[in-house]
């Protein structure tokens, strides 16, 4: 009898769970949350998105300290908000200009005649783009490059840089030597009449000296041709850069003298599945700030991301695609970085619609397209983890979206159908 009682107690303990065990088991269950398919009417509306402007990255323009003097802003050529294009002067510091050029990298040394290197070749390409250099971009700083640099400064309305003191001194010496040699040759030629062999030798020496000094003079002139100080050039994109800020005339410069915004300005937005075709890559759109303080600009969708699920951390997030829209640079002054904008299709027309709808969070996508997961006829709002295997994969086409609902069509989708909105991966 005692043995039977012990066995019964053991069996009861095996099948009876404590409240803590039951809570632990329930916590491990991932319920599948569903919502019903319902018929709704969508009013006529022009497809539009709300996005955010990214105006590009900023660049601080600095100038080295003047040798033996102060760096002071002496003239401002480009005002804040203006577009600084290659070949334009930005500002003048201590009497010397800073000019924009479209270079692949920042100049890292002063360029003088006779130098060679990739920086010289980059300079030649930049000057050729402006129509100022007509030679072969061979990477050697010659007379053609000097002439193009002078043309660049002339175009910007500023004075071209002078040669270094050493180069100018060497030129002065070479010119003096050439004058002396020419005078000596002339004096020798004047005494040659009736002379003998000694006079002929003297004349030959004078002529040779004149030729030698002439060659030295030519070399000194090439070396003293127009140089290009790296401090007087700021590299910008081919399309230019927006001037964000520039120091006023009279300001002592200790650091940056101006701030530029570079890179193509873009607007980014999330487009839902129903409007994906309207805002496909290459689609023409209009972009305006939400406050409607400026005229809309015409732009183009430049890229569309892969499908993205709604973010679990953002209640306002919807599944769909992230689109990027390149804004025209010359219009960028009306937008600030971080501005909220309204993006509308330039060609789509408003139309009303009525049909079956599901919450947008029910939409999923794989390599075959858009689909929803439906339960096996259950009308409840949740299903246990064991019922996940009975979920049905229904392919749908999204016709429109509004206020968190997507209007869909597809085989097997019917009013009252329960579709999964959470809890199933």
Read off the pLDDT of each residue in 293-302 and give the average, rounded to a whole number. Answer: 85
Query: Is pLDDT at 1 greater than 80 in this prediction?
Result: no
Residue 418 has pLDDT above 80, yes or no: yes
Per-residue pLDDT, averaged over 73-94, amounts to 96
Which stretch of 168-177, 223-232, 292-301 has the lowest confidence by average pLDDT?
Answer: 168-177
- Confidence band, pLDDT 50/70/90 cuts, at residue 116: very high
- Per-residue confidence band for 194, with pLDDT thresholds at 50, 70 and 90: low
pLDDT of the residue at 73: 97
Q: Output 136 or 206, whichever has higher pLDDT.
A: 136
**So what's the pLDDT on residue 388?**
54
pLDDT number for residue 12: 52
Q: What is the pLDDT of residues 370-392, one digit of tens each?
A: 899 998 754 444 444 445 558 88
- pLDDT bin (cut points 50, 70, 90) of residue 17 is low
Q: Is the pTM of this model over 0.75?
A: no
Residue 327 has pLDDT above 60, yes or no: yes
Give the mean model confidence (pLDDT) for residues 26-46: 79
In terms of average pLDDT, the best of 81-90, 194-203, 416-425 is 81-90
Tokens of residue 280, six digits: 């496909």
pLDDT tens-digit series, residues 388-407: 558 889 999 888 888 889 88
* Residue 113 near residue 99 (C-beta atoms within 8 A): no
Examine the pLDDT at 417 and tell me if it is beyond 50. Answer: yes
User: Model confidence over 122-164: pLDDT tens digits?
Assistant: 999 999 999 999 999 999 999 999 999 999 999 999 999 998 7
Model confidence over 246-277: pLDDT tens digits? 999 999 998 899 999 988 789 999 998 878 88
């Amino acid at each position: 009898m005692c043995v039977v009682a012990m066995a019964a107690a053991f069996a009861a303990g095996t099948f009876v769970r404590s409240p803590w065990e039951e809570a632990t088991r329930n916590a491990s269950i991932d319920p599948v949350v569903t919502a019903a398919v319902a018929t709704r009417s969508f009013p006529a509306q022009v497809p539009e998105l709300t996005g955010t402007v990214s105006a590009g990255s900023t660049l601080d323009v600095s100038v080295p300290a003047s040798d033996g003097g102060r760096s002071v802003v002496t003239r401002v050529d480009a005002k804040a908000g203006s577009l600084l294009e290659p070949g334009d002067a930005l500002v003048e510091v201590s009497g010397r200009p800073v000019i924009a050029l479209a270079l692949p990298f920042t100049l890292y040394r002063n360029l003088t005649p006779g130098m060679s290197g990739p920086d010289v070749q980059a300079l030649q390409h930049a000057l050729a783009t402006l129509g100022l250099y007509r030679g072969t971009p061979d990477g050697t700083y010659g007379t053609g490059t000097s002439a193009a640099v002078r043309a660049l400064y002339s175009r910007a309305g500023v004075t071209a840089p002078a040669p270094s003191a050493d180069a100018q001194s060497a030129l002065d010496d070479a010119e003096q030597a050439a004058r002396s040699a020419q005078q000596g040759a002339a004096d020798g030629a004047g005494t040659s009449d009736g002379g003998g062999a000694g006079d002929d030798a003297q004349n030959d020496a004078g002529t040779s000296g004149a030729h030698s000094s002439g060659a030295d003079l030519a070399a000194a002139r090439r070396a003293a041709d127009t140089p290009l100080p790296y401090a007087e050039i700021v590299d910008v994109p081919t399309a230019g850069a927006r001037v964000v800020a520039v120091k006023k005339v009279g300001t002592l410069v200790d650091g940056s003298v101006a701030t530029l915004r570079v890179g193509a300005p873009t607007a980014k937005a999330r487009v839902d599945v129903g409007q994906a075709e309207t805002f496909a890559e290459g689609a023409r759109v209009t972009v305006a700030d939400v406050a409607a303080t400026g005229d809309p600009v015409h732009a183009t969708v430049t890229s569309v991301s892969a499908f993205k699920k709604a973010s679990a951390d953002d209640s306002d997030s919807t599944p769909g695609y992230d689109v990027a829209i390149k804004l025209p640079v010359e219009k960028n002054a009306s937008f600030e970085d971080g501005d909220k904008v309204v993006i509308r299709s330039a060609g789509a027309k408003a139309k009303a619609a009525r049909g079956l709808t599901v919450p947008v969070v029910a939409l999923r996508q794989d390599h075959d397209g858009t689909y929803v997961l439906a339960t096996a006829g259950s009308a409840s709002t949740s299903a246990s983890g064991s019922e996940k295997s009975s979920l049905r994969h229904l392919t749908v086409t999204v016709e429109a979206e509004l206020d968190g609902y997507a209007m869909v069509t597809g085989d097997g989708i019917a009013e009252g159908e329960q579709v999964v909105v959470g809890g199933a991966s």
